Structure 1
Amino acid sequence: MIGSHPEYSARPRAADIDMPHQPGSPQSHAVALVAHAHGCDDTIRIALSHHVAGRLTEAELMYKQILAVTPGHADALHLLGLVAHHSGNFDNAVDFIMAALERSPQALYYFNLGNVMTAHNRHAAAAECFRQAVVLQPDYVDAYNNLGNALRSLKEFHEALDVFCTVIDKQPDHAQAYNNLANVLLELDEIDAAIEAYRNAIALAPDLPEPRSNLLFALNYADSTSPQAYLAEAMAYGELVTRLAKPWSSWLVDEPADHRRPLRIGIVSGDLKMHPVGYFLENVVRHADPQRIELIAYVTRNMLEDELTQRIKPLFHAWHSIAGVADRDAASRIRNDRIDVLVDASGHTRYNRLPLFAWKPAPVQVSWPGYFASTGVRAIDYVLGDDIVLSEEEAAHFVEGAWRLPDSYLCFTPPADDVAPGAPPSADGQPVTFGYFGKLTKITDHVVAVWSEVLRALPSARLLLKSAQLDVESVRARIAERFRAHGIGLDRLILEGRSARAAYLATYRRVDVMLSPFPYPGGTTTAESVWMGVPVVCRRGDRFLSRIGESILGPLDLLEWVADDDASYVAQAVALATDTARLVALRGGLRDRLLASPLCDARQFARNLEDAFAAMCGRRAQDAASGR
């Protein structure tokens, strides 16, 4: 429901040469090339040894000493730029590396300048740097690999595919390239090909966590994946990251059982912004009781902070970036911050840092609200859900313990944009318009067949699909062809891409009834539909993920919109779309109904969440006292 799939690009933190790396990564290139260039230059060798060991202050001092003697020493300038980048000083990093390039235009320098640009969201500049690197060194596969990731960030998906195929041609065992190729295929709605590429990456590098994590996310789109098959893959991932970690079994926190201090709650996320995670967290953060909990953010990427970030950031007790920080070091930082409860708000979505949870930096660790299946990481103690998404039967699909919140496990934050619902299109004499606003990857072949049946039942009706993926012409052509195979021509489809938030919300006014896909339904879009007065037809599923729409509609007493099978789904959609009087009434009343429901009672939700965290800590204290 919440978020998009994770990215792996040798995590372009390649410029941080003190980070752990895979064979052939930019770190090993940096060491080998500098050492080769200088032979027995003891000063640069000693400085570099400090740098690789993480003694950056000593390394910086020695680089400056080298430059005092030889002001144009290109390697010292380049490496000083990497130190500046590690310290978060973007301008100095660029200046130093550019100065090195002026003196000696080397592929490695362009490569690491591209990594600096990538880390600061300058993807066009990064792509140009990587291009220069491969011009100077045509066999530089890591530069091609990171070029592909820069192109993906620029949404140049087909060019990115070509680049990753070039990497694989040059180095057939390049697991990272297969992983990144799969990421792009997923963007292009090629789910089966993406899963195959992820499996190729895993076969080539079985000890690399990222492809396994990406595969887990992708499997949620495939309706052929059983909960048991998913759990087996998740457990394999969990075993791997646990093997790579050294978990703590004691912590620095004082027991909070007497409630004399607030619990310290850490939230690990790359999505504290205008993103579904941000939308569901905003009101909860705003209504948290500082006498009971202190919220500490651990941001996993160098974000361009948007208006939502700016609204919630002051509400946190502290805000730290762990972007580019090794899992061991990030976990140590969290442990030293004396966190009582550490919340993973990503699961296997993009920018997750699940491997650091395997280090067990906090005595209690929880998965919420950014994922919808087991992470596979046994060091995460609980998954937060409710009675609908996390039934007794569903608990068996998790390695995490089940913890249920009253009413709902989500709290909806009404949009800041003041966009009125308007009248349903059919009430103004227009053809009935169904809609779906979300990832096209959720539209499986089964979904296309069922939605086509809905459209055949109402020959004048249309389907409005709105997704960022539809900005890509080949994706538009492919989705049109999939419906054409079921007798639904392009004249019955309205295909639209990304738009600004207010314009996006206004698009709901052009829809009579929203259709939620399955088994991966709309989450944020279901709540937004209700906010905009548009009914949503959902399909009941057999796991946490497929019950999210039901979890949102349940507290609104709208479970009649949740169908048990294909036939009732079609019948419900047609019945709603042809009852104009009901559509008009819903348009005028759904928003108030949502606001009056537990989904929008942020104050009570915050109390429920605080109670849950306190009870978790109390249970841990009891277990510790009893030796369990």
Structure 2
Amino acid sequence: MQAPPDHDSRTNGDVPMDATAHAPAPLPDFDASAMLQAAFAHHQAGRTGEAAECYKQILQHDGMHPDAMHFLGVLACDVGNLPAGIDLIEKSIQLHPNAIYLNNLGNMRGRARDLQGAIAAYRAALSLAPDYAQAHSNLGHTLREAGDPAAAIDSCTVATRLKPDLPQAWTHLGNALLELGSDEGALDSYMKALALQPNDANAHNNVGNILEKYGRAAGAAESYRRALALEPHRASLHNNLGNVLRDQGQLDQATACYRQAVALDPGFAQAHSNLLLLLNSRLDVALREQFDEARAFGEHQSAKAQPFQHSANANDAGRRLRVGFVSGDLNSHPVGFFLESVLGHLDRTRIELVAYATRKREDAVSQRLMPQFSAWHDISRLDDAACARRIRDDGIDILVDLSGHTNHNRLSVFAWKPAPVQATWLGYFATTGLAAIDYVIADRHVLPLDEASQFVEAPWHLPDSYLCFTPPPFDIEVGPLPASANGAITFGCFNHLVKLNEAVVALWARVLDAMPGSRLLLKTRQLDDPAVQHATLARFAAHGIDGARLMLEGQSPRAELLAAYNRVDIALDPFPYAGGTTSIEALWMGVPVLTRRGERFLSHVGESIVDTVGLPDWIASDDADYIAKAVRVGVQRDELATLRRTLRQRLLASPLCDAPRFARHLEDAFHGMWARRVACHQANDGHPAQPHRHSSGDARHAAERNFA
């Protein structure tokens, strides 16, 4: 979000203040006032060397000149020397306490991430000048950054009342309102800021964020483009535009945006993660390119990190392990759904769990998850270094990433190696690219040994499935086969629209062609936007499918989403980005899933789910087989109806829902990783050793938003 202005350049005479001890009068032949104005002109024009020379000349003639001392300190902060600059600012305040000096001190302490010190400075400024609107605005900005958005709203509201034409105050108010969930109030504040300052890229960006949140992708894209017209070299804006273009199905343009963001800022982890997530869903991007891009991500993050070293001894083997889970999805999210039943069955004499939540989002699922952890830490406001130190100091033995390159990940923290053993599991489907992550937890379906070279992490296979589903807490009855009443098959897919690449649309159009009268129900958040609905109809129309055969629906609460499967006969799995939670939810609602065999983890997820539930015949080998299977099962209405009635029980009886069994396997996996570490450490005479990793040929050793 928008930072406070660098400094208030008014001299101390502009604000009432108490008198202080006066410095000796300057030499009569030196015009300190003219020199100070010259210094300001240089400073504001960015001529830092000339400005510093002017300030120093004043201080040579009058070593106690408060303005020269103060703004020399501000200049030092401007060029990156925060400690020296803040020291000079504090000395100038001792000479001449006033609100402007204290406001600037707050700004510079904020830059140094001393948020409490900044808050104290702003409050001291306001004690001298209670009507100082800029200080109220800056105080609100910093209070929100310190985690107190309610107090931030109070301060920003005062600022807007005192100075309604201060655009920054409206922006800061919008940011605080947004954090407390008042989206409409935030949007109104941003629009007021833009009315006062139309060239504020931050406000345009924030308007885009809100429009995107409510599915108004076209409006969001326009806001991001306006921001980019003002600041074309700002990486975060390219990333945000990429997000909405991706959701609109404009994959080429989205990819270009993410690449531009990474080119402008190679260390921009979020943009790089978004790029990787998108590349993995594209059939036209080679596995080699995906792997190399992930490796580049890992190298950039490793170059910024300062990894910790860890020791081990023989007594470590077999002891209770402290396992940390890092995720922003410990709530009503697929990760939360897959974790819930498993955590309750872990043996606490073998495993102690610690949660590291990368964002604040509490709901019914998170409330049920929290008691399963011995500690629950909010790391959303910690930078990578502080977060890594926290994990290291907590004595975590095995740190598990549950996000990969999806939203709210903190893979950059893993580059610091805060735990002796690190693994990735559950939330992603390809390599993270980070050499600091030792293992990827998988199963034999999603990661066959002959595909292990696609990962920098070593595979650790669980015996059955790498997933264990928690059945929904809803009593939703499986309805009769819709085709029995409709007279025709209804196919369905409730996956994110980004998974419907052109190859998927083309194949599904062929399926509909092969089954006259059949229809397709698509249900996902992106279809809340009428523009996206229109574009989706056009994509199928290009393959000869009349729009009347498509039913397009937006998002619903989970219970309503599940109930919608009672209108679906057969679920179609997209490729290469197969469904996960959506596929198991379909099975739970009695809807079989037709999936397609692939060549990577991402594509194998559907295979793993369908095979584990005992339906290997629902795995198609290629496009022709996909169409043939869809037609064959579509005409076998009696068999399809029987399967629908029995599928939920089949799922519940499978390893996919056997939480006690899965918990034992997961415990054994963690202890196996730890035992291997201890053994490797001893074999290397106490020197750390990495798990065996597969060679990757000639390779050289990525939808929270960016609120500016």
Look up the match of 1:264: 322
| Cα pair 1:556 1:593 within 8 Å, conserved | yes
Q: Find the partner of 1:77 among 96, 118, 136.
A: 136
Aligned residue pairs total 599
Q: 1:103 to 1:386 in 2, by over 3 A?
A: same
Q: Find the partner of 1:275 among 323, 333, 346.
A: 333
Give unmatched runs, 5+ long, in structure 1.
Answer: 1-13, 15-25
The secondary structure found in structure 1 opposite 2:389 is helix
Look up the match of 2:666: 609
Q: 1:73 to 1:213 in 2, by over 3 A?
A: same
| Cα pair 2:137 2:168 within 8 Å, conserved | no
Of the structure 1 ranges 545-554 and 148-157, higher mean CA displacement relative to structure 2 is found in 148-157
Look up the match of 2:357: 299
Look up the match of 1:92: 151
* CA distance in 2: counterparts of 1:480 and 1:37, whole angstroms: 63
How do 1:188-203 residues align onto structure 2 when only pairs under 5 Å count?
188-203=248-263
C-alpha displacement of 1:223: 1.0
Look up the match of 1:377: 434
| Cα pair 1:256 1:263 within 8 Å, conserved | no
C-alpha displacement of 1:459: 0.7
How do 1:507-546 residues align onto structure 2 when only pairs under 5 Å count?
507-546=564-603
* CA distance in 2: counterparts of 1:257 and 1:212, whole angstroms: 37
* Amino-acid identity (%): 44
Look up the match of 2:203: 143
1:495-518: CA deviation from partner (whole Å, max 9, x where unpaired): 222112122111111111111111
C-alpha displacement of 1:208: 2.4
C-alpha displacement of 1:84: 2.9
Q: 1:37 to 1:130 in 2, by over 3 A?
A: farther
Of the structure 1 ranges 313-322 and 525-534, higher mean CA displacement relative to structure 2 is found in 313-322
| Cα pair 2:313 2:678 within 8 Å, conserved | no
Look up the match of 2:405: 348
C-alpha displacement of 1:361: 1.3
Look up the match of 2:216: 156
| Cα pair 1:123 1:154 within 8 Å, conserved | no
| Cα pair 1:119 1:302 within 8 Å, conserved | no
Give unmatched runs, 5+ long, in structure 2.
Answer: 13-66, 71-99, 690-708
Look up the match of 1:187: 247
Q: 1:60 to 1:390 in 2, by over 3 A?
A: same
* CA distance in 1: counterparts of 2:365 and 2:569, whole angstroms: 29
C-alpha displacement of 1:197: 1.5
Q: 1:579 to 1:180 in 2, by over 3 A?
A: same
Look up the match of 1:112: 172
What is the alpha-carbon root mean square deviation over aligned residues?
2.1
Of the structure 1 ranges 339-348 and 293-302, higher mean CA displacement relative to structure 2 is found in 293-302
* CA distance in 2: counterparts of 1:285 and 1:447, whole angstroms: 36
Q: Find the partner of 2:470 among 413, 416, 431.
A: 413
C-alpha displacement of 1:249: 1.7
Look up the match of 1:67: 126
| Cα pair 1:118 1:126 within 8 Å, conserved | yes
| Cα pair 1:123 1:153 within 8 Å, conserved | no
Look up the match of 2:702: none
Look up the match of 1:212: 272
TM-score by length of 2: 0.81
Q: 1:479 to 1:384 in 2, by over 3 A?
A: same
The secondary structure found in structure 1 opposite 2:6 is helix
Q: 1:389 to 1:609 in 2, by over 3 A?
A: same
The secondary structure found in structure 1 opposite 2:306 is coil
Of the structure 1 ranges 616-625 and 494-503, higher mean CA displacement relative to structure 2 is found in 616-625
* CA distance in 2: counterparts of 1:192 and 1:235, whole angstroms: 22
| Cα pair 2:403 2:427 within 8 Å, conserved | yes
* CA distance in 1: counterparts of 2:326 and 2:430, whole angstroms: 17
* CA distance in 1: counterparts of 2:318 and 2:141, whole angstroms: 45
> Aligned pair 1:250/2:310, yes or no?
yes
C-alpha displacement of 1:535: 1.3
Look up the match of 2:697: none
Q: 1:590 to 1:35 in 2, by over 3 A?
A: farther
TM-score by length of 1: 0.91
Q: 1:395 to 1:271 in 2, by over 3 A?
A: same
Q: 1:37 to 1:257 in 2, by over 3 A?
A: farther
Q: 1:578 to 1:438 in 2, by over 3 A?
A: same
| Cα pair 1:219 1:230 within 8 Å, conserved | yes
Q: 1:229 to 1:307 in 2, by over 3 A?
A: same
C-alpha displacement of 1:181: 0.7
Look up the match of 2:35: none
| Cα pair 1:576 1:583 within 8 Å, conserved | yes
How do 1:412-431 residues align onto structure 2 when only pairs under 5 Å count?
412-428=469-485, 430-431=487-488
C-alpha displacement of 1:371: 0.2
* CA distance in 2: counterparts of 1:420 and 1:555, whole angstroms: 23
Look up the match of 2:521: 464
Of the structure 1 ranges 537-546 and 211-220, higher mean CA displacement relative to structure 2 is found in 211-220
Look up the match of 2:185: 125
* CA distance in 2: counterparts of 1:556 and 1:322, whole angstroms: 37
Q: 1:199 to 1:57 in 2, by over 3 A?
A: closer
* CA distance in 2: counterparts of 1:102 and 1:200, whole angstroms: 40
Q: 1:256 to 1:484 in 2, by over 3 A?
A: farther
Look up the match of 2:376: 319
> Match of 2:231, as an amino acid?
Q
* CA distance in 2: counterparts of 1:437 and 1:505, whole angstroms: 10
C-alpha displacement of 1:124: 2.7
C-alpha displacement of 1:590: 1.1
How do 1:34-45 residues align onto structure 2 when only pairs under 5 Å count?
34=8, 40=70, 41-45=100-104
Q: 1:402 to 1:142 in 2, by over 3 A?
A: same
C-alpha displacement of 1:102: 2.2
C-alpha displacement of 1:347: 0.9
| Cα pair 2:215 2:525 within 8 Å, conserved | no
